[in-house]
Structure 1
Amino acid sequence: MEVIVLSLTVALVAVSLLLTIFAFTRRADGGVKLPPGSYGWPIMGETIEFLFGKPEHFVGERMRKYSPDIFKTDILGEKTAVICGPNGHKFLFSNEQKLFTAFRPHPMQMLFRSYKTKEQKQATGPSQMARNDEAKVIRSPGFLKPEALVRYLGKMDSMTQQQLQTYWEGKDTVKAFGLCKTITLTLACRFFLGIDNPERIARLVTNFDDVTLGMHSITFNFPGTIFYRANKAATAIRRELLAVIKEKKDAMASGAPMQDILSHMVVASDPTGQFMPEAEIADKMMGLLTAGYSTVATTMTLFMKYVGERPDIYNKILAEQREIAAAKKPGELLDWEDMNKMKYSWNVICEVMRFNPPLQGTFREALVDFTYAGYTIPKGWKVYWTVSTTNMNPQYFKNPEVFDPTRYQEGESHIPYTYVPFGGGPRMCPGKEYARLAVLAFVHNVVTKFKWDLLVPNEKIIGDMMPSPEKGLPIRLHAH
């Protein structure tokens, strides 16, 4: 009898404890119907699985386990709802600044110091006005609009030619990833900063690599960690950019024209007439350069990989690019009409971006409580948008593991919001057209100058948030 009483007592205590935990959890989450999912481990949540597992696996497994529409998790120190599929993409893009605002994860906030942390927001007020001002400064001069890019296109073409001539012509073997990074950063520095100094740019390449890796990392800031290297790199870049800003101000005081985004950021002021501090300008320019560097360099490199594996695709691109080159006079540079003729080449690039997205996704912050797919996402939660829910899904792309550029040819159609490499809505990547022109200028020059063989067949793609070839994509060049 005593054994039975003891067993019942233990059972009642256990049930009471479970009910207490459940009640606490309900109170902590506001007593609302949250999306299904798991917060993972205490403190760390599911950050390790998110950062060091393939994003499509992290997302795909949870979509299958919890819901194909939405699930909850805890990553990078934030309770997060992952909204999935084309309906999720549409919902997110349609509700920018209504339900969501941009959010930078803590590693980004710490690396790009002008992006305020939650504590800073509470002390100084929301940073949304600053973000809107930043976007206004970037967009208002029209640098990223097609009519402005037309004027820069010839320079983009000539600089790409110069880089290929300097680093590849006359060489038997090279590592493609290294040159793609140098070309991309050279173009970005010229376009955003107005500088064209090879030595200065060479010093920045490694630093930008470290910052890119650190943007999605665990913020352990001690020697040997990814974030420590990223923090040191960001300090070095910031120091270099502050020097560039001072030089820019001196040049403008001497009457130099405003021909780059940095010039306009230097003279931009808020409604009170206050100019942006130099340190903040440096941080914002570092963010722009990072965005315009890593994703474009990755796309160029993976183009070299996938086209190097497919001679049939290479031959079609070569025929298209030779036709464009044949119509040019000697020494004449690419123009807008030429870019619009590169239809098959762009289809190949689109498939590269589907196969290995240069950017996996971005975060938002919920401005208010809202409901999606029958679940409530509380105000202040983070929302993660990712291409991984559609890009490799056979429901939306037939035989998704096959590299097939014909998916994008005229007459083919896709379910809306299934292919969104540049995002969508008001926050669609403002550099989309810049990236398109930079990549196509590279494609034109590299294909008309060289054929290449991959020296490491089936080279592994590493880096989960920012993909890159494990060995740097060594290739053997054959000049035409």
Structure 2
Amino acid sequence: MEDPAQVSKFSEPFNDLASGIISIPINLPGTPFRRGIKAAETVRKELMGIIKQRKIDLEEGKVAPNQDILSHMLLATDENGQFLNELNIADRILGLLIGGHDTASASITFIVKYLAELPHIYNEVYNEQMEIARSKQPGELLNWEDIKKMKYSWNVACEVMRLAPPLQGAFREAIHDFTFAGYSVPKGWKLHWNVNSTHKNADYFPEPEKFDPSRFEGNGPAPYTFVPFGGGPRMCPGKEYARLEILVFMHNVMKRFNWEKVLPDEKIIVDPMPMPAKGLPIRLFPHKA
């Protein structure tokens, strides 16, 4: 995609899109499904303009063929040498934007929430981030080596995603007959799997309601017990991007601010992802120089 400013203009329709995707498919005025359709049309229209301009830029050599996934899609061909059509590309980019927007923003929101509630955790993250900040020259940006040093910060983010996973579950199809908990499940059945079936299972996470980033030290949890990004061949391809986005956010905010929740007892709702009911208003306190 283009620079972040272009992506940010899509932020407003994304909530309607996400709500529409999981809503009852009733296409009537005022329903989440109708709002989702209209939001998709709005974003798709913007994407088509970006795609057409990118095709021109590629032809004129103004951008590199390997610049980003949009360029790759425009240049990719199928087994018959045919290019993807523009609408197909727009829909694929739309899917990537939806998948990468709400999930990351939900995770970041809960990181802010838990750090406000747990000052000892905040202090540990702050110390790690400030050690990295002090190693940089004025104006020097973070690099991949800095990201790899943020081990405790990422453990905290993982513990947040264990307790408040942005995606609560998914439907999967049984690929063969099997028995689970005394029930026979035939091949072809669609099963709804909830991440909390393992994330809050005391067999894998002792004291599951306790916030404990040390769970992710060393080899971390047993395979397929911590699955905010799924697992196996269908693991989310954006996992490393999400890690980068979350850690860069944590670094840049925490080296500047501490904060407190304005509404200490704010409730959590699910619409369509878990989020604080009032948007988690906070009060920022700049660090003293």
Query: Structure 1 length normalisation: TM-score?
Result: 0.57
Aligned-partner residue type, residue 446 of structure 1: V
The one of the two structures with greater contact order (alpha-carbon pairs below 8 A, sep at least 6) is 1
For residues 462 and 216 of structure 1, the distance between their equivalents in structure 2, rounded to whole angstroms, comes to: 15
For residues 464 and 403 of structure 1, the distance between their equivalents in structure 2, rounded to whole angstroms, comes to: 24
2:178 to 339, 347, 371: 371
The equivalent residue for 2:262 is 455
Structure 1 residue 286 corresponds to structure 2 residue 94 = yes
Aligned CA distance change for structure 1 residues 460 and 441 (closer, same or farther; 3 Å): same
For residues 339 and 415 of structure 1, the distance between their equivalents in structure 2, rounded to whole angstroms, comes to: 24
Q: RMSD over aligned Cα, in angstroms?
A: 1.7
2:224 to 414, 417, 432: 417
Query: Superposition pairs for residues 398-477 of structure 1, below 5 Å?
Result: 398-410=206-218, 414-463=221-270, 465-477=272-284
Aligned-partner residue type, residue 37 of structure 2: N
The equivalent residue for 1:253 is 59
Aligned-partner residue type, residue 281 of structure 1: I
- Superposition deviation, residue 364 in structure 1: 2.9
Aligned CA distance change for structure 1 residues 432 and 202 (closer, same or farther; 3 Å): closer
- Superposition deviation, residue 369 in structure 1: 4.9
Aligned CA distance change for structure 1 residues 332 and 202 (closer, same or farther; 3 Å): closer
Checking the alignment, whether the CA contact within 8 Å between 1:360 and 1:465 is kept in structure 2 is no
Structure 1 residue 226 corresponds to structure 2 residue 35 = no
Task: Calculate percent identity across the aligned residue pairs.
Answer: 52
- Superposition deviation, residue 419 in structure 1: 1.2
2:148 to 335, 340, 362: 340
Q: Which has the higher helix share?
A: 1
For residues 414 and 242 of structure 1, the distance between their equivalents in structure 2, rounded to whole angstroms, comes to: 43
Instruction: Render the CA deviation track for 1:16-75: whole Å, top value 9, x for unaligned.
Output: xxxxxxxxxxxxxxxxxxxxxxxxxxxxxxxxxxxxxxxxxxxxxxxxxxxxxxxxxxxx
For residues 335 and 402 of structure 1, the distance between their equivalents in structure 2, rounded to whole angstroms, comes to: 33
Checking the alignment, whether the CA contact within 8 Å between 2:19 and 2:271 is kept in structure 1 is no
- Superposition deviation, residue 464 in structure 1: 5.4
Aligned-partner residue type, residue 280 of structure 2: L
Structure 1 residue 196 corresponds to structure 2 residue 3 = yes
Query: Superposition pairs for residues 3-22 of structure 1, below 5 Å?
Result: none
Aligned-partner residue type, residue 169 of structure 2: G
Checking the alignment, whether the CA contact within 8 Å between 1:268 and 1:276 is kept in structure 2 is yes
For residues 230 and 152 of structure 2, the distance between their equivalents in structure 1, rounded to whole angstroms, comes to: 22
For residues 409 and 213 of structure 1, the distance between their equivalents in structure 2, rounded to whole angstroms, comes to: 36
- Superposition deviation, residue 263 in structure 1: 0.6
Checking the alignment, whether the CA contact within 8 Å between 2:229 and 2:239 is kept in structure 1 is yes
Query: Superposition pairs for residues 34-73 of structure 1, below 5 Å?
Result: none
Structure 1 residue 313 corresponds to structure 2 residue 121 = yes
Aligned-partner residue type, residue 458 of structure 1: D
- Superposition deviation, residue 197 in structure 1: 6.3
Gaps of 5+ in 1: 1-192
Checking the alignment, whether the CA contact within 8 Å between 2:18 and 2:272 is kept in structure 1 is no
Aligned CA distance change for structure 1 residues 239 and 400 (closer, same or farther; 3 Å): same
The equivalent residue for 1:358 is 166
- Superposition deviation, residue 407 in structure 1: 1.9
Checking the alignment, whether the CA contact within 8 Å between 1:307 and 1:314 is kept in structure 2 is yes
Aligned-partner residue type, residue 22 of structure 2: H
Q: What secondary structure is seen at the aligned counterpart in 1 of 2:282?
A: strand
1:242 to 28, 48, 67: 48
Query: Superposition pairs for residues 259-278 of structure 1, below 5 Å?
Result: 259-278=67-86
- Superposition deviation, residue 382 in structure 1: 2.0
Checking the alignment, whether the CA contact within 8 Å between 1:210 and 1:226 is kept in structure 2 is yes
Instruction: Render the CA deviation track for 1:190-230: whole Å, top value 9, x for unaligned.
Output: xxx1x1263x4443111111111222110011111111111
Gaps of 5+ in 2: none
Query: Superposition pairs for residues 90-105 of structure 1, below 5 Å?
Result: none
Matched positions, count:
283
Structure 1 residue 322 corresponds to structure 2 residue 130 = yes
Query: Structure 2 length normalisation: TM-score?
Result: 0.92
Checking the alignment, whether the CA contact within 8 Å between 2:28 and 2:34 is kept in structure 1 is yes
Aligned-partner residue type, residue 41 of structure 2: T
Q: What secondary structure is seen at the aligned counterpart in 1 of 2:192?
A: strand
- Superposition deviation, residue 333 in structure 1: 1.1
Checking the alignment, whether the CA contact within 8 Å between 1:451 and 1:478 is kept in structure 2 is yes
For residues 459 and 393 of structure 1, the distance between their equivalents in structure 2, rounded to whole angstroms, comes to: 25
For residues 268 and 446 of structure 1, the distance between their equivalents in structure 2, rounded to whole angstroms, comes to: 39
Aligned-partner residue type, residue 355 of structure 1: L
For residues 216 and 317 of structure 1, the distance between their equivalents in structure 2, rounded to whole angstroms, comes to: 35
Which has the higher Rg, Structure 1 or Structure 2? 1
The equivalent residue for 1:303 is 111
Q: What secondary structure is seen at the aligned counterpart in 1 of 2:264?
A: coil
For residues 232 and 203 of structure 1, the distance between their equivalents in structure 2, rounded to whole angstroms, comes to: 15
- Superposition deviation, residue 242 in structure 1: 0.8
